A = this chain, B = another copy of it.
Amino acid sequence: MALEQVSANKCFGGTQFVYRHDSHETGTSMRFGAYLPPQAQAGKVPVLYWLSGLTCTEENFIVKAGAQRVAAELGVAIIAPDTSPRGLGYPGEDDSYDFGTGAGFYLDATEAPWSGGYRMYSYVAEELPALVADELPVDPARCGILGHSMGGHGALTIALKNPQRFRSVSAFSPIVAPMHVPWGQKALGGYLGPDRESWKAYDTTELVRSRGWKGPPLLVEQGDADQFLADGLRPELLEQACRDAGVPLTLNMREGYDHSYFFIATFIADHLRYHAAHLQTAG
């Protein structure tokens, strides 16, 4: 088995695993969480990929979101990868919270030295699903993706570019227009270089316009008391892009909610039900 079990905890009748493996995309040891619901003991179950935000590891979602309860009820697995390679030793890798370690931005870097191992796009879109399909009791034909903040950006961009693999997509407080906000400009410039044309491959608003989306409506949850709303997230740019491209979008603005896992925990059940409903018939 290519997976080494780090931990296993029974939870809501299923098991919350953490696995470790050697990634050929990042060239590092990578960890991910894998919740297998009780139904996985009887056969392959649909699988959701959760992508976390800046500074997170594979642990945050596992311990804070309270997702296992509904995953067990619905019979879906949830895979929660880390947010970057770790320990590559590149200069500056640990200097800021929003670039380098914990901030892979779910792209394949082209600028040295980051191009060596910062390949979280290919890791999440290709390597990890193939590994999970080989090693765990999941049905890769019934696969969705969701995430938070930087991970919402990851979920949306990866789904838009891989609709054959990810049949449903949703996001909490996503960075939808990284080309137009400071977080994204720092990351895209640092990992991809100054040519802004190359940035478009990792900007949800650009991808909605260039590729469209034939799946179920994009589902986005956003707190209106989110401290990053105006400067980092800008959901109105996604609304405009979806209108322009005729892509269906459900944008739920939630009064009084912020950017935290307390917000995610409140609405995670709605998102899991959304995915499960659309993955019932897919495949």
In the bound complex, do residue A68 and residue B10 qualify as a contact, i.e. CB atoms below 8 Å apart? no
Interface status of A250 (Cβ within 8 A of chain B): no
> Which among A121-129, A191-199, A240-248, A258-266 touches the partner chain?
A258-266
Interface bits A1-41 vs B (CB < 8 Å: 1, else 0)? 00000000111110010000000000000000000000000
In the bound complex, do residue B64 and residue A265 qualify as a contact, i.e. CB atoms below 8 Å apart? no
In the bound complex, do residue B265 and residue A66 qualify as a contact, i.e. CB atoms below 8 Å apart? yes
In the bound complex, do residue A16 and residue B262 qualify as a contact, i.e. CB atoms below 8 Å apart? yes
Q: Given the complex of chains A and B, what is the CA–CA distance between A21 and B258 in angstroms?
A: 25
Interface status of A69 (Cβ within 8 A of chain B): yes
In the bound complex, do residue B69 and residue A10 qualify as a contact, i.e. CB atoms below 8 Å apart? no
Residues of chain B contacted by A223 (CB below 8 angstroms): 10
Selected contact of A66 from candidates B66, B225, B260, CB within 8 Å? B66
Interface status of A257 (Cβ within 8 A of chain B): yes
In the bound complex, do residue A262 and residue B64 qualify as a contact, i.e. CB atoms below 8 Å apart? no
A92 smallest CB distance to B (angstroms): 31
Q: Given the complex of chains A and B, what is the CA–CA distance between A262 and B13 in angstroms?
A: 10
Residues of chain B contacted by A263 (CB below 8 angstroms): 9-11
In the bound complex, do residue A257 and residue B10 qualify as a contact, i.e. CB atoms below 8 Å apart? yes
Q: Given the complex of chains A and B, what is the CA–CA distance between A265 and B262 in angstroms?
A: 15
Chain A residues touching B, range: 20 to 34
Q: Given the complex of chains A and B, what is the CA–CA distance between A196 and B257 in angstroms?
A: 51
Interface status of A91 (Cβ within 8 A of chain B): no
Interface status of A89 (Cβ within 8 A of chain B): no
Q: Given the complex of chains A and B, what is the CA–CA distance between A257 and B9 in angstroms?
A: 7
A5 smallest CB distance to B (angstroms): 14
Interface status of A87 (Cβ within 8 A of chain B): no
The residue in chain B whose Cβ has the minimal distance to the Cβ of A60 is B63
In the bound complex, do residue A258 and residue B10 qualify as a contact, i.e. CB atoms below 8 Å apart? yes
In the bound complex, do residue B11 and residue A262 qualify as a contact, i.e. CB atoms below 8 Å apart? yes
The residue in chain B whose Cβ has the minimal distance to the Cβ of A67 is B66
In the bound complex, do residue A9 and residue B63 qualify as a contact, i.e. CB atoms below 8 Å apart? no
Q: Given the complex of chains A and B, what is the CA–CA distance between A11 and B261 in angstroms?
A: 9
Residues of chain B contacted by A69 (CB below 8 angstroms): 66, 265-266
Selected contact of A10 from candidates B63, B261, B262, CB within 8 Å? B262
Q: Would you mind naming 10 contact pairs between A and B with Cβ atoms under 8 Å apart?
A: A10-B256, A10-B257, A10-B262, A11-B263, A63-B261, A64-B64, A66-B66, A66-B265, A68-B266, A69-B265
Closest 3 pairs between A and B when the two form their complex, measured CB to CB: A66-B66, A11-B262, A9-B262
Sample of 6 further A-B pairs with CB below 8 A, known A12-B265, A63-B64, A63-B261: A9-B258, A10-B256, A10-B258, A10-B266, A11-B263, A66-B265
